[in-house]
């Protein structure tokens, strides 16, 4: 017996704010979750699996229109034509209280109740699937506690959308313990909610498949689902299959030992080429992060636009696969400049004053109040999301100060 375990599809996830990124491949990014889901269905058909298990967050909240639901129904019809059943639970993003539009789905799709756990038995396969969806967006109770004990004569799969005992970057929904899951006697726990693939346990198998498509620069690396094979009533293999059509990557380049911009560009190009190979001929969305205590710090900040465009030119010249430079982040610190330390004149005093400027808590509070009006005038998409530029946040103000300090140092020492 074979089944596919997937989760966190987030169909038609709204990728807000992309318009502000020059050259962003908008069409490819906005269709990525659909194409990845099509790849999931194709994998199920190619492998002739017996069941497909979807462990929550199929959608990304309320649909803008019915096209999202119609697309899902069409993909389920592909599985129905091959006589492949689907077991589905609602997660926090598609909770019963959150999704108001509904569509009649093909008969091969079983959507588990949200009021209490239920069991779907496939007698011909010798399989029992147990699950419960989210009734509300924020479920803080341990749903697994009420799941039924395993059927002794069947292979048991538990489907649950949960943060377990807590996972960084994820809301602590439906918290539970590994010991609690083991106590149910199931052979395999198909989890959802955490977007990074991980195998929590092999006795029994407790698995997060991760999401099927990365949606921003924090969801890095290969994304997909797991194919599970069962022999003689036990799991014989769990294999991850990448399904994503856009691969997100971060290239972190330490410039501490780099003496010139040309050497820096060589290091950046080498990192980009390595990331391009790892994308395996997919569209690569890459963020470049330059860090280290280096002599180039002031130059990098003073000529930010030139640096970004030169890095963009490097990505265009790779040739191995299509690459989109999502962002260049300059996170370097300044190596001590002899010109600052050795000068004993008015300019030296000014340079040292700039170099040593810091924002203590009192200054931060006063500055937040000064820029409050400006902050409210900024577009909402600029102040929110993964790359928020929110002037009410101390870290953002500190970043602005660092850039101003570098710019002044470069111009004064010019």
pLDDT band at 387 (very low <50, low <70, confident <90, very high): low
Mean pLDDT of 183-197: 96
pLDDT band at 370 (very low <50, low <70, confident <90, very high): confident
Report yes or no: 170 and 161 within 8 Å, Cβ to Cβ: no
Closest CA to 83 of 108, 46, 111: 108
Task: For the domain made up of 2-242, give the CATH fold.
Answer: Purple Acid Phosphatase; chain A, domain 2 (3.60.21)
pLDDT value of position 380? 60
Mean pLDDT of 64-78: 91
pLDDT value of position 414? 60
pLDDT band at 104 (very low <50, low <70, confident <90, very high): confident
| Residue limits of CATH 3.60.21.10 in the chain | 2-242
Is 106 strand, coil or helix? coil
pTM of the model: 0.82
Closest CA to 36 of 241, 212, 197, 194: 212
pLDDT band at 45 (very low <50, low <70, confident <90, very high): very high
Report yes or no: 135 and 115 within 8 Å, Cβ to Cβ: yes
First-to-last alpha carbon distance for the chain, in angstroms, is: 70
Mean pLDDT of 329-350: 70
Lowest pLDDT segment from 246-250, 265-269, 342-346: 342-346
Mean pLDDT of 334-356: 65
226-255 in b/e burial notation, b at 16+ Cβ within 10 A? bbbebeeeebeebebbbbbbbbbbbbebeb
pLDDT band at 189 (very low <50, low <70, confident <90, very high): very high
Q: How far apart are CA 275 and CA 353, in angstroms?
A: 41
Closest CA to 193 of 156, 228, 242, 160: 160
pLDDT value of position 96? 65
pLDDT value of position 409? 63
For residue range 144-156, what is the model confidence (pLDDT) as tens digits? 999 999 999 999 9
For residue range 106-143, what is the model confidence (pLDDT) as tens digits? 999 999 999 999 999 999 999 999 999 999 888 989 99
What percent of the chain has a predicted confidence (pLDDT) above 70? 81
For residue range 250-293, what is the model confidence (pLDDT) as tens digits? 999 999 999 899 999 999 999 999 999 888 888 999 999 999 98
pLDDT value of position 356? 65
Q: Pick the more confident residue, 279 or 96.
A: 279
Tokens 């908008």 locate to: 26
Closest CA to 400 of 390, 410, 409: 390
Q: How many CA atoms lie within 13 A of 99 on its CB side?
A: 26
For residue range 200-229, what is the model confidence (pLDDT) as tens digits? 999 999 999 999 999 888 899 999 999 999
Report yes or no: 144 and 181 within 8 Å, Cβ to Cβ: yes
Q: Which of 35-44, 213-222, 328-337 has the highest mean pLDDT?
A: 35-44
Mean pLDDT of 295-299: 83
């Amino acid at each position: 017996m074979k089944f596919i375990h997937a989760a966190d599809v987030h169909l038609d996830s709204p990728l807000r704010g992309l318009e502000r990124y020059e050259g962003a491949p908008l069409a490819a990014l906005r269709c990525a979750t659909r194409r990845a889901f099509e790849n999931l269905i194709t994998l199920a058909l190619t492998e002739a699996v017996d069941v497909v298990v979807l462990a929550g967050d199929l959608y990304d909240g309320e649909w803008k229109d019915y096209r999202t639901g119609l697309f899902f129904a069409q993909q389920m019809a592909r599985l129905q034509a091959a006589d492949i059943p689907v077991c589905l639970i609602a997660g926090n993003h598609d909770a019963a209280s959150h999704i108001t539009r509904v569509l009649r789905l093909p008969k091969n799709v079983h959507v588990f109740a949200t009021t209490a756990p239920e069991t779907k038995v496939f007698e011909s396969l010798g399989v029992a699937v147990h699950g419960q969806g989210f009734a509300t967006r924020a479920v803080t109770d341990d749903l697994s506690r009420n799941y039924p004990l395993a059927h002794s004569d069947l292979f048991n799969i538990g489907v649950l959308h949960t943060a377990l005992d807590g996972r960084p970057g994820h809301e602590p929904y439906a918290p539970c313990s590994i010991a609690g899951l083991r106590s149910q006697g199931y052979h395999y726990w198909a989890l959802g909610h955490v977007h990074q693939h991980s195998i929590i346990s092999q006795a029994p198998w407790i698995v997060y498949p991760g999401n099927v498509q990365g949606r921003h620069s924090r969801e890095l690396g290969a994304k997909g689902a797991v194919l599970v094979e069962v022999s003689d009533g036990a799991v014989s293999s769990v294999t991850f299959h990448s399904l994503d059509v856009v691969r997100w990557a971060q290239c972190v380049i330490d410039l501490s030992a780099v003496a010139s911009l040309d050497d820096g560009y060589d290091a950046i190009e080498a990192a980009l080429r390595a990331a391009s190979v790892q994308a395996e001929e997919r569209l690569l969305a890459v963020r470049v992060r330059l860090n280290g205590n280096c002599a180039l710090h002031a130059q990098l900040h003073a000529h930010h636009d030139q640096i970004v465009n030169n890095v963009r030119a490097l990505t265009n010249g790779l040739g191995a696969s299509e690459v989109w430079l999502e962002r260049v982040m300059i996170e370097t610190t300044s190596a001590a400049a002899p010109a600052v330390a050795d000068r004993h004149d008015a300019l030296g005093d000014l340079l040292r004053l700039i170099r040593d400027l810091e924002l203590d808590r009192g200054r931060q509070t006063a500055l937040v109040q000064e820029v409050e009006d400006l902050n409210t005038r900024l577009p909402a998409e600029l102040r929110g999301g993964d790359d928020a530029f929110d002037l009410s946040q101390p870290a953002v103000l500190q970043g602005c100060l660092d850039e101003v300090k570098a710019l002044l140092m470069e111009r004064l020492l010019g």
